[in-house]
């Protein structure tokens, strides 16, 4: 008579799978561009502002348009049932959040231009505006990864905030980070591999072109 019991190897595999699933969900949540952006923009502000007080002043203005208003918008949409989750995973629910995101970025870009703010922060705002427009167009027929688009853009911004000696090391660390974010989004089945690659490439490429056009070395 065969013994009935749990196969230790299968149990270990199951536990390993559950651990990776939990880790992937955690990385996916914490790597939301709205959470990562404030720290990256602060680094850019400290690097390019004339003094520390000015850096925090411009950083605060930036956060109003890039973090506080968009986050309040998402909270309102989530509570009123206009979006199903914080990541706006359903493509058909992305239209209006993206439209308003474009409006916030446009308002922020105009504010920094009129106030003669640091060029790098204006470039960041313009990058967000351009990526918002691209997202609006692409979302009409495809679901690109906004996680990777946002984090790819932030990677370029962070590289621009540091001097040459640390750029190569930082670049490698950012590649590892983007790889982890991409794997997490794939693991939670939010995107296909092509949607992840397209998001990262778009975020990096568009931001690099705008920075290059404004004379900011990356």
Each residue's pLDDT expressed in tens, for the chain with a length of 218 residues: 444 555 655 655 555 566 778 999 999 999 999 999 999 999 999 988 889 999 999 999 999 999 999 999 999 999 999 999 888 888 899 999 999 999 999 999 999 999 999 999 999 999 999 999 999 999 999 999 999 999 999 999 999 988 777 888 999 999 999 999 999 999 999 899 999 999 999 999 999 999 999 999 87
Residue 129: predicted pLDDT: 98
- Give the residue from 177, 110, 189, 113 showing the smallest Cα distance to 145: 189
Residue 4: predicted pLDDT: 53
Residue 141: predicted pLDDT: 93
Give the integer Cα–Cα distance in Å for 8 and 58.
57
In terms of C-beta density within 10 A (0-12 exposed, 13-18 middle, 19 or more buried), how is residue 64 classed?
middle
- Contact between residue 61 and residue 78 where contact means Cβ atoms under 8 Å apart: no
HEC string of the chain equals CCCCCCCHHHHHHHHHHHHHHHHHHHHHHHCCHHHHHHHHHHHHHHHHCCCHHHHHHHHHHHHHHHHHHHHHHHHHHHHCCCCCCCCCCCHHHCHHHHHHHHHHHHHHHHHHHHCCCCHHHHHHHHHHHHHHHHHHHHHCCCCCCHHHHHHHHHHHHHHHCCCHHHHHHHHHHHHHHHHHHHHHHHHCCCCCHHHHHHHHHHHHHHHHHHHHHCCCCC
């Amino acid at each position: 008579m065969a013994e009935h019991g749990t196969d230790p190897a299968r149990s270990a595999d199951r536990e390993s799978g559950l651990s990776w699933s939990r880790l992937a969900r955690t990385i996916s949540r914490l790597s939301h561009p709205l959470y990562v952006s404030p720290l990256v923009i602060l680094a850019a502000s400290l690097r390019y502002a004339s003094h520390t007080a000015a850096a925090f002043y411009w950083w605060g203005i930036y956060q109003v348009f890039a973090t506080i208003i968009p986050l309040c918008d998402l909270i309102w949409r989530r509570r009123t049932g206009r979006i199903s989750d914080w990541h706006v995973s359903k493509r058909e629910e992305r239209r209006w959040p993206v439209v308003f995101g474009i409006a916030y970025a446009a308002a922020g870009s105009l504010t920094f231009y009129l106030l003669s703010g640091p060029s790098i922060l204006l470039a960041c705002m313009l990058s967000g505006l351009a990526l918002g427009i691209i997202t609006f167009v692409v979302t009409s027929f495809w679901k690109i990864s906004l996680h990777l688009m946002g984090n790819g853009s932030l990677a370029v911004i962070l590289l621009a905030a540091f001097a040459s000696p640390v750029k190569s090391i930082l670049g490698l660390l950012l590649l590892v980070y983007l790889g982890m974010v991409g794997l997490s989004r794939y693991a939670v089945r939010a995107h296909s591999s092509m949607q992840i690659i397209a998001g990262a490439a778009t975020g990096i490429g568009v931001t690099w072109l705008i920075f290059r056009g404004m004379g900011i070395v990356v």
